[in-house]
Amino acid sequence: MSSSKQPVALVAGASGIVGTGIAQRLVADGWRVLCASRSGGGCVPGTEGIAVDLMDPQACRQALLPYEDISHVFYAAYQQAQSRAAEVAPNLGMLRNVVEAASAAAPGLRKIVLVTGAKFYGIQWGAVSTPCRESDARQLPPNFYYDQQDFLCQAQRGQAWSWVNLIPPFVSGFAVGNPMNLVLGIGIYAAVCKELGLPLRFPGSTGAYDALHQIADAQQIGAAASWAASAEAAANQAFNVANGDAARWRNTWPVIAASLGMEAAQPKTMPLADVMPDQQAVWNRVAQRQGLRGIDIAKIVDWAWVDYMLRMSHDVVLETGKIRRAGFHACIETDRVFVQRLRELQEHKVIPR
């Protein structure tokens, strides 16, 4: 981002997959990056940490008060709850707290970049009309993504800043400690299968194996967020963002297997939420032999969520013409970047080589 003054970003949710990707891209682009988290640690090299509980509005105001030079807010925080309805209050509340605190502290605030997801189009309820477009009619609530965008619409009135909502489909990226992590889940599942001398069977449904879908890697979301921060066309509207190619697990799964030195096998629907926690002894054997990090595989990954992702038997395809027409043209290859993410986990001794 070219400017005579260094832009200052506040990244909420920087410890997650998407937030990490955004923070990394902004650091590479020369931004000063502030990462808001409970611990207050800088989650990405080159960033500064701010200790704050995003659920506490007063704590947010106090924590951001010294940072009057914040120019942009990038919001990728998420609070899981037991139901769709229960997700609304905490996730809307955290966004409101961050936006109101940043607006009060930083008179030069220019843009708020929100990242939501394809649940905006109701993919969690079943098949939807594809490709999903930003102009599509909403589905029945509850859906906290709707509440978040509606809040930004209302809060922006009379303000100098504008907002953007980036909507990715499935997400890939590097993170450890984020249970909703498809790459890590597949990596651990593959390591257990390999140790037991089994081929890499696709554990989801046959419908999901053949369905057409898209992935947005955190690298691509970070690039889109950096673009949206300065693009004049990216103001007070939503944009779909994806890697640039559509994929099917039928084609991607053999690529993953080959990258891990395994044979791919046809789908066999397997309840990972039931069977993977029982593989700790197998995992411990692999980890001890290869000097891997000590992890509790029942907790490091949300296996019920992985089951949900790998059993989505309908197409999940977003129309990305709008963001391209507005000026964002980055494109990366899904299979290549998925393998790259597995390699990162290997390099950090999270999964075996």
Looking at the structure, tell me whether residues 282 and 224 fall in a common domain.
no
Candidates 309, 285, 275, 267; CA nearest to 194 is: 285
pLDDT of residue 40: 79
Looking at the structure, tell me whether residues 198 and 223 fall in a common domain.
no
What would the pLDDT profile of 22-46 be if each residue is shown by its tens digit? 999 999 999 999 999 887 776 799 9
Q: CA dihedral in degrees (12, 13, 17, 19; nearest 10)?
A: 10
Domain count within the chain: 2
- pLDDT over 90 at 81, yes or no: yes
Residue 124 belongs to some domain of the structure: yes
What would the pLDDT profile of 300-310 be if each residue is shown by its tens digit? 999 999 999 99
Looking at the structure, tell me whether residues 160 and 206 fall in a common domain.
no
Looking at the structure, tell me whether residues 199 and 225 fall in a common domain.
no
C-beta of residue 36 within 8 angstroms of C-beta of residue 10: yes
| Final residue before a domain boundary, out of 192, 225, 240 | 240
Looking at the structure, tell me whether residues 112 and 24 fall in a common domain.
yes
> Domain range spanning residue 83?
8-171+215-240
Looking at the structure, tell me whether residues 159 and 194 fall in a common domain.
no
Rounded to an integer, what is the distance from CA 23 to the centroid of its chain?
12
What's the whole-model pTM score?
0.96
Looking at the structure, tell me whether residues 193 and 341 fall in a common domain.
yes
Looking at the structure, tell me whether residues 149 and 257 fall in a common domain.
no
Residue 323 belongs to some domain of the structure: no
C-beta of residue 188 within 8 angstroms of C-beta of residue 351: yes
Looking at the structure, tell me whether residues 75 and 143 fall in a common domain.
yes
As a whole number, the mean pLDDT across the chain is 96
Looking at the structure, tell me whether residues 18 and 147 fall in a common domain.
yes
Residue 209 pLDDT level (bands cut at 50, 70, 90): very high
Looking at the structure, tell me whether residues 228 and 258 fall in a common domain.
no
